[in-house]
Amino acid sequence: MNGKTDIIVVGTGASGLFYALNTPPNKRILMITKRAVDESDSYLAQGGICVLRDTDDYDSFFEDTLKAGHYENDRASVAVMIRSSPEIIKNLIDLGVTFEKENGELLYTREGAHSRARILYHEDLTGREITSKLLAQVKKRPNITIIENMAMVDLMCQDNCCNGVVASDGTGAIHMYQSDYVVLATGGLGGLFDRSTNLAHLTGDAIAIALKHQIEVENISYIQIHPTTLYSRKPGRRFLISESVRGEGAVLYNRKMQRFVDELLPRDLLTKAIHEQMEQDESDFVWLSMQDMGPEVIKNRFPNIFKHCLDEGYDITRECIPVTPAQHYFMGGIKVDLESRTSMAHLYAIGEVSCNRVHGANRLASNSLLESLVFAKRAAIDTHNHYNTSAVLKKALQLDDYKDLEQLKSDYKKIILDEIERSKVIERIDKA
């Protein structure tokens, strides 16, 4: 046993960091992360973060979110997210996050399925800007310790109460960390797919562990495909071409260089249209053109996309680029309430690994960072308001259960994929 702390946060993406920053400084927090501290999908978010512009914007923001989610969203969760957004943006700015401004006023952009511009952004690197600033603040807190290259392999539980985490370091050695509370902020499951915008090590282990311990999960088969990633024959992660590109006027062409779709459709509908066009064209991609924006706008507004495409041999100021859909986001996950509590006592889930049903069956663009931060803060406040110590473990864990980590990894992958297929069958029956 590696000793006991107050709270363990598994994951160092935006939600985990924001949880830690909203926890009182008298609580000792241990953060563990599967890889390096900055290797989270939060860093990869390009587009931006939604915010309620004013009171007149509430109804349209609410409707846009529900419409994109095919009205399967939890309305109470959506209301909480939207109404909390101005406070969250203020918190971020107070923590040093900068968003684009003009003449001292915040600039807003629009993305697919939004009825108006309500998205704040920092170049085309909004996720990196937010997450890096949160990490910088976390590193200043003496009550927070971060351990990198420490992968969770199980939870320590008894009597439906979470008491800590079992983890493996880079050498394969097993560590046991006991705590009063555990917060899962482990991200998505894109690493299970051949083509994904996610980092490869994000394989949904927390979902498998939840299923193993009969912790409730929900909407496991709700997996979002992003319509536009840079086409490549190289193996590995797919490079995202942000929704904001289309929000700023980029258009999609078929192989005959004819525009074939409304580029601002919700992601699932646009993905469907692209797949249909690719089938008609007998092609693995369609073309995306940004040229009408002009070189200066492209280089200033989308410097990261411009540079990456240039490195791949495409000058987006002068030519179209090939794009294709790829797995992007997980709308399902570990079932939580409005305070991010799971069905197991002393266990919270926040960010992409959780399912508070905000997104319904399809996430509205740029709601992910907002949702993660809103419900991470609510989880931190709830932990503080109801804090009590966990019971001492009655039975020691058997280290032999973790001696073959490769087999365990394989088992977890099978558990998740089997549950996704089972969930799809149930979904079809329910909709029949």
Question: Catalytic residue positions?
Answer: 267
SS3 label, residue 153: strand
What residues are paired with 264 via a beta bridge? Answer: none
- Residues 210-230 as b/e (b if ≥16 CB within 10 A, e otherwise) read bbebebebbbbbbbbbbbbbb
Nearest to 122 by CA among 107, 136, 135, 142: 107
Which structure tokens are listed for 133? 């600033």
Q: What CA–CA distance (Å, rounded) separates 119 from 61?
A: 11
Determine the longest span between alpha carbons in the chain, in angstroms.
Answer: 69
Q: What CA–CA distance (Å, rounded) separates 101 from 110?
A: 15
DSSP string, 65-104: HHHHTTT-S-HHHHHHHHHHHHHHHHHHHHTT----EETT
How far are the Cα atoms of 15, 148, 268, 340, 351 from residue 185, in angstroms, in the given order? 6, 14, 25, 11, 6
Q: What CA–CA distance (Å, rounded) separates 389 from 383?
A: 11
